[in-house]
Amino acid sequence: MFRTEYVKKVYADLQKNNANEPEFLQAAQEILESLELIVEKRPDIEQNRILERFLEPERFIQFRVAWLNDKNEVQVNRGYRVQYNSAIGPYKGGIRFHPSVNASIIKFLGLEQILKNSLTTLPMGGGKGGSNFDPKGKSDAEIMRFCQAFMTELYRHIGPDTDVPAGDIGVGGREVGYLFGQYKRIRDEFTGTLTGKGLAFGGSLARTQATGYGVCYFTQEALKTMKGETFQGKTVAVSGAGNVAIYAIEKAQQLGAKVVTCSDSNGWIYDPEGIDVELLKEVKEVKRARLTEYAKERKSAEYHEKKNGEHGVWNYKVDIALPCATQNELNLDDAKALVKNGVQIVCEGANMPTTLEAAHYFIDNGIIYGPGKAANAGGVATSGLEMCQNSARLSWTFEEVDAKLKGIMEGIFHNAHDTAVKYGVKENDLLTGANIAGFEKVCNAMIAEGVF
């Protein structure tokens, strides 16, 4: 797995100290496999014990969230915030509400976020938070009370120049609104402490679309540079049916592709005529319903129930795959099926959706592989743009924000690609390129700022 004694020891210690955290160890292993190349070139990394410091969060906060449901019964959940690394800016990263949330998931997401935020070129450190609260089936009033209870603890740890949370799975505009309202009430100040806010109270145009559109801008630049091609006429598989998936589908179709799949936790849609994105928005964003509702309205769509936890969407003949649901949703068998069916490029809208074996399989088979920390950085980049607008107390037009987002995504692709080439790995290995490029800036800042 590793060649150098230093990296071997760092990873062995990490395994010992985080024994029951598989997602965190997976993310760390994937990053360390890339960073070994820079460690071999730069002895100052080992001298300054940068890898050990980089992998250890600056702060990990865990707290109780007690709230009342609609029957006036007391409910108790666990809340988290990891403030992972502030070398290049205030901690920045989303909040996830999902029953699977635990320390391992929060730490893997926070670690990825450090490199992602560095790649955006904006001054943002890495953080992430969440709760094992399950929003499914909760009333609007329950969601509000939970968000208020969550913020009643979190507020003391965050601030516009300290730590700026945003949304992630289970946390969208509605939840950010309730979190922001409670923060403002407790602190008695109106600042840009959260991003993804509503447009009436400091949100940025295009933040809703940013992650999904950004994945497509990244994919488009990769196709253009490495294959001289575009989205026009291509067939695309997307997983997920949430914020990232919806706007990835919308942009891919605007760019001339046909997206034939999407999915949620219960099942998936195969729609050979192309997903009707307006209908999908109506089902998921307005009604908050299941994909069965989409299939009822759309004659050309097939609905498949997930029976054995399979993700289903990776078995069709497509040119482009965009996993946009959740971690480890694309395994080695899925990767083999995609490659057999002629996929050319896989770019991740979700965080770590591809298992490590599957990622290696893509790279070894010449598929362009854009890891989430590069391909889905458009969401946090636009959050960074929201922070700029809040500080300046102004707002840019949709076109201005979208143009900046596009420029940032194209820049991230070229940075990852050029770094892959510079470090002598295959040019389709944007994983190594993104890991090294994101790390280098953080590492230099950590050394310059002294031992901490």
Ligand X SMILES: NC(=O)C1=CN([C@@H]2O[C@H](COP(=O)(O)OP(=O)(O)OC[C@H]3O[C@@H](n4cnc5c(N)ncnc54)[C@H](O)[C@@H]3O)[C@@H](O)[C@H]2O)C=CC1
Q: Looking at beta carbons only, is 355 or 423 nearer to ligand X?
A: 355
**Is 284 marked within a binding site?**
no
Partner in contact with 92, chosen from ligand AKG, ligand X, none, beta carbon below 5 to 8 Å by kind: ligand AKG
Three-state DSSP at 445 gives: helix
Give min distance, CB of 52 to ligand X, in A: 26
Q: Which residue, 300, 323, 296, 299, is CA-closest to 312?
A: 323
Q: Does the annotation flag 79 for ligand binding?
A: no
Of 16, 41, 71, 128, the active-site residue reads: 128
What distances in angstroms separate CA 54 from CA 49, 125, 304, one per listed residue?
A: 9, 12, 43
Strand partners, 330: 354
428 labelled ligand-binding: no
Nearer to ligand X, 10 or 209 (CB): 209
Which of the stretches 35-43, 89-97, 363-371, 434-442 binds ligand AKG when contact is defined by CB under 6 A? 89-97
Query: Does the annotation flag 432 for ligand binding?
Result: no
Per-residue tokens: 156:
């003391």
Identify which of residues 164 and 425 has a Cβ nearer to ligand AKG in the complex: 164
Report the distance separating Cα 73 and Cα 70, nearest Å.
Answer: 7
Q: Is the separation of the CB atoms in 283 and 293 below 8 Å?
A: yes
3-state secondary structure of 162: coil
Q: Which of residues 96-125 bind ligand AKG (CB under 6 A)?
A: 116
**Residue 195 binding: pick among ligand AKG, ligand X, none (C-beta 5-8 Å cut-off by kind):** ligand AKG
Interaction of residue 175 with ligand AKG, rule CB under 6 A: no
* 242 forms part of the interface with ligand AKG (CB under 6 A): no
Contact partner at residue 151 from ligand AKG, ligand X, none, CB < 5 to 8 Å by partner kind: none
Choose among ligand AKG, ligand X, none what residue 243 binds, the Cβ cut-off being 5 to 8 Å by kind: ligand X
Interface with ligand AKG includes 92 (CB under 6 A)? Answer: yes
Interaction pattern, residues 299-338, with ligand AKG; x per rule: CB under 6 A: ----------------------------------------
User: Per the annotation, does 211 bind a ligand?
Assistant: yes
For ligand X, the binding residues (CB under 6 A) are 167-170, 172, 211, 240-245, 264-265, 324-326, 349-351, 376, 379
* Sign of the alpha-carbon dihedral angle for 70, 71, 74, 75: negative
How many residues at the interface with ligand AKG, by CB under 6 A?
A: 11
Q: Is 128 a catalytic residue?
A: yes
- The tokens for 129 are 């938070």
323 and 299 Cβ atoms separated by less than 8 Å: no
**Closest CB 136 distance from ligand X, rounded Å:** 10
Residue 212's CB is within 10 A of a number of other CB atoms, namely 27
Q: Is 243 labeled as ligand-binding?
A: yes
DSSP 86-131: -SSSSEEEEEEE-TT--HHHHHHHHHHHHHHHHHTTSS-EEEEEEE
Which residues have a Cβ under 8 Å from the Cβ of 408 and sit 6 or more positions away? 120, 121, 122, 214, 377, 378, 381
From start to end of 297-449, where are the E strands? 302-305, 320-323, 345-347, 368-370
Using DSSP bridges, classify how beta strands 345-347 and 258-259 pair: parallel, antiparallel or unpaired.
unpaired
- CA distances in angstroms from 190 to 33, 176, 205, 207, 393, listed in the order given: 43, 14, 19, 19, 11
129 touches ligand AKG (CB under 6 A):
no
349 binds, among ligand X, ligand AKG, none (CB under 5 to 8 A by kind): ligand X
Q: Under the criterion CB under 6 A, does residue 94 sit at the interface with ligand AKG?
A: yes
Please check if 148 is assigned to a binding site: no
Please report, in range form, the residues annotated as the binding site for NAD(+): 211, 243
Please report, in range form, the residues annotated as the binding site for substrate: 92, 113, 116, 167, 383
The catalytic site residues sit at: 128
Please report, in range form, the residues annotated as the binding site: 92, 113, 116, 167, 211, 243, 383
Residues that bind ligand AKG (CB under 6 A): 92-94, 116, 166, 168, 195, 351, 379-380, 383
